[in-house]
Amino acid sequence: MSEYVPPRVWKWEQPSGGQFASINRPVAGPTHDRQLPVGKHPFQLYSLATPNGQKVSIMFEELLEKGHKDAEYDAWPIRIGDGDQFGSGFVAVNPNSKIPALVDRSGPEPVRVFESGAILVHLAEKFGEFLPASGPERAETLSWLFWQMGSAPFLGGGFGHFFAYAPEKFEYAINRYSMEAKRQFDVLNRRLAESEYIAGPDYTIADIAIWPWYGGVALGRSYPGADEFLATHEYEHLMRWAREIDGRPAVKRGRIVNKLTGDPSEQLHERHDASDFALRTQDKLQPADEAEAVKDDAI
Ligand SMILES: N[C@@H](CCC(=O)N[C@@H](CS)C(=O)NCC(=O)O)C(=O)O
């Protein structure tokens, strides 16, 4: 057992240890001046291919797949391991300093949108896709969308952090968050036993929000060994759904946007054009742009 006795008032005195400790601070606001780049398209996305970031690039690719040419976007990488999220331009778009963040420049004035759930609703309403306009179907979709926003921090910040990133393996913390992660997988599995997609017979922003987190762990992409540790193969309905969504062309594209690590053919650092997927993944560019150190699949 730890001998740590908390002082009466907590102070930020030493690094907490573990991966990402160097970027964690107990204060908000910018640390440096840096303007964000702006491309030619109506939507400017500032992101990284973590599960939270993938939701939005998948949404854009799904809209384009449906033929919405007005959904063209520029996606710029925010290197959170280097502290890009604390630059003045980024903080002006998201005062919470987290990816993803969007500037919608399709109207007379730029509109900032932060928090992945808000971005998905903004785009769904703008294009009239993936979110029923009214009635019980809309309520069901929003319920599962907000379920994800409340639940995934226990999967990522709780389970994933203590399983993969903490400086030591703390049994109490791993047990606590494994219990909750498995309970959440069971919630989804039971839902997907009775429904093709999360909110009903149609694919919606609830699937787009939930898949990168829960599909990512179940497909063994997020934290090495986590799928076996949590026995995710036992959630058969969830596995059926995870594999099916993984095969969607827009998902195959969206999940590699702003991806800075892993297989070079699955890294598209910046996305400015539909042709970038064929021409500008890292395997096609100079070897000088080699894979970067931060693992972005599972933060
Ligand atoms: N609730 C937020 C969570 C966003 C979030 O946690 N983003 C992480 C990456 S997955 C981040 O930017 N972390 C940087 C930091 O904490 O400094 C959302 O859904 O948009």
Q: Say if residues 212 and 58 touch (Cβ distance below 8 Å).
A: yes
Give the residue whose CA is nearest to atom 13 of ligand 1.
Answer: 98
Which range has the worst mean pLDDT, 21-25, 57-61, 120-124, 245-249? 21-25
Report which ligand 1 atom has the smallest distance to the Cα of 299: 10
Task: Check pLDDT > 60 for residue 231.
Answer: yes
Expressed in angstroms and rounded, the spacing between residue 100 Cα and the centre of ligand 1 is 7
% residues pLDDT > 90 (the chain): 89
Task: Check pLDDT > 60 for residue 27.
Answer: yes
Number of CB atoms found within 10 A of residue 263's CB: 12
Quick one: pLDDT band at residue 21, thresholds 50, 70, 90?
A: confident
Hey, what's the torsion of the CAs at 186, 192, 99, 112, to 10 degrees?
Answer: -130
Report which ligand 1 atom has the smallest distance to the Cα of 119: 20
pTM for the whole structure: 0.94
Report which ligand 1 atom has the smallest distance to the Cα of 115: 20
